[in-house]
Amino acid sequence: MRWYVRAMAKYPRVREQHIAVFGEGGSGKTVLVSSFFGPTQEGSYSNDLWDLVADDTGQGNRLYQNYLGMRDRARTPLTTRFAGTTYYFSVKLKGGDNAAAKKRPFDTLRLAWHDYPGEWFEESPSSEEEANRRVDTFRSLLRSDVALLLVDGQKLLDNTGEEERYLKSLLTNFRQGVLRLKDDLLGDEDRLVEFPRIWIVALSKADLFPDWDVYSFRDLVIEKATDPLDDLRSTLKDFVDTPDALSVGEDFMLLSSAKFELSAAGPEIDVTQRVGLDLILPVASMLPLERRVQWNERMEIPRKVLDTLADGAETLAEVLTGETFLDINKLVAKLPKFGPLASMAGLPALAAAAKMAGPKLREINAQAREHHDFLTATLTQFKLNLDQGVKDKLLIRSLK
């Protein structure tokens, strides 16, 4: 997740976060992003904290068109092939004219959703131009802290009783695809400092398994595909500086864009039956903050890595806890870039924000809403949603 304040102008003040989505062709990536965005554009949609807009109007119209095709005509979007796309969405906070808005550090959260073509993991490049495009597309998503690796629910169902065949093929193809990019991505660098650090294994089309919770999915993957998952983890560790600050196959998630059914009258799609998509923003914004604290507490992390890991975490913690980071920022400037003190910057305050939960979190959220502090209300709501996703057994967060 790369957060920054837009430097070209004072307004709008923007924080940006990135998420990378990987999956084979037909795994439902286009349907997912359409169902993430589409419902927020309906006339009946209501959100008292923020509005979601697509930064590119044409892109937004196409995604909403996809959603309307599912909602009104039970028609799924056309499959995209060999097209690497980044979608930019802005979460625009409400209450821009009130007193709390003038004090908040930013007004807009931008989500960059990187969709990496699944075919590029299944087939070799057909030309040097395509090979270069694959490298450039992968480089564009290196700013992501969170990556989703989709397991296609339909293919899992098609391989009932032999799920290991599909899972091994999926993970091996992905590993080999990444290995093909390794030399070009590393260049003259020994290891990459900036690289997705949290790799969530996510079941797409989870509606095909109505009796499953996320633990059912996790248990199947571990039972059937531990070795290829370990191989993928080892490969990704070879890419990164401080490889212990990397979670691969420790977090799991259920995702479904809608409920798809066949009836005597033909296909039916109930777009109101979505699973996990409301967790995308909380996962992208809150999970890196939590993981940074977890890693910081058990290992020594170089400053150059810390600066890219959940960048802007201090600002998030300030909003969540109401603490000021002026003294902490002065301390950070004096800390060494290496050594035992390098990773301690702001840790107590960050830990307080990352571990905030239960009644205290709900109290801060309620107070923020009462005082029309839309930023604090939004971030605490994201954290509440993340906790609820765990309680609802839609998400497993690594404890390491």
Max Cα separation, the chain?
Answer: 70
Q: Is the pTM of this model over 0.85?
A: yes
Output the pLDDT for position 300: 87
Output the pLDDT for position 347: 60
- Alpha-carbon distance of 130 to 291, in angstroms, equals 35
- Alpha-carbon distance of 106 to 176, in angstroms, equals 40
Residue from 223, 202, 145, 197 nearest 395 by CA: 202
Which H helix or E strand runs over 285? helix 280-298
For residue 84, give the 3-state DSSP assignment.
Answer: coil
Tens digits of pLDDT across the chain (400 residues): 444 444 334 555 788 899 999 999 899 999 999 999 999 999 999 999 999 999 999 999 999 999 999 999 999 887 766 678 999 999 999 887 777 777 788 888 999 999 998 888 888 888 888 889 999 999 999 999 999 999 999 999 999 999 999 999 999 999 999 999 999 999 888 999 999 999 999 999 999 999 999 999 999 999 999 999 999 999 999 999 999 999 999 999 999 999 998 777 778 999 999 999 999 999 999 999 999 989 988 888 888 888 788 767 777 777 887 654 333 344 334 334 444 434 444 466 678 888 888 999 999 999 999 999 999 999 999 999 999 999 999 999 998 8
Output the pLDDT for position 40: 97
Residue from 285, 261, 253, 266 nearest 32 by CA: 253
Long-range contacts of 360-364 (CB under 8 A, 24+ apart): 361/387, 364/320, 364/322
**Angstrom distances, CA of residue 348 to CA of 3, 108, 270, 296, 397:** 21, 27, 45, 11, 21
Angle at CA of residue 384, ends 381 and 390, nearest 5° = 145
Angle at CA of residue 17, ends 24 and 250, nearest 5° = 55
Output the pLDDT for position 387: 96
Q: Classify burial at 307, counting beta carbons within 10 Å of its beta carbon; exposed 0-12, middle 13-18, buried 19 or more.
A: middle
Q: Strand 395-396's sheet: what is its strand order?
A: 50-54, 85-93, 108-116, 14-22, 146-152, 198-204, 247-254, 395-396
Output the pLDDT for position 365: 93
Compute CA 246 distance to the chain's CA centroid, rounded to the nearest angstrom: 15
Output the pLDDT for position 84: 80
Terminal Cα-to-Cα distance of the chain (whole angstroms): 19
For residue 129, give the 3-state DSSP assignment.
Answer: helix
- Alpha-carbon distance of 32 to 389, in angstroms, equals 18
Q: Where in the chain does DSSP place strands (E)?
A: 14-22, 50-54, 85-93, 108-116, 146-152, 198-204, 247-254, 259-263, 266-270, 395-396
Query: What values do phi and psi take at 248, rounded to 5?
Result: -130, 115
- Alpha-carbon distance of 165 to 54, in angstroms, equals 39
For residue 53, give the 3-state DSSP assignment.
Answer: strand
Structure tokens at 400: 């390491």
**How is the chain split into domains, by residue range?**
14-396
Distant-in-sequence, close-in-space partners of 176: CB < 8 Å, separation ≥ 6: 121
Q: Classify burial at 103, counting beta carbons within 10 Å of its beta carbon; exposed 0-12, middle 13-18, buried 19 or more.
A: exposed
Question: Fold for domain 14-396?
Answer: Rossmann fold (3.40.50)
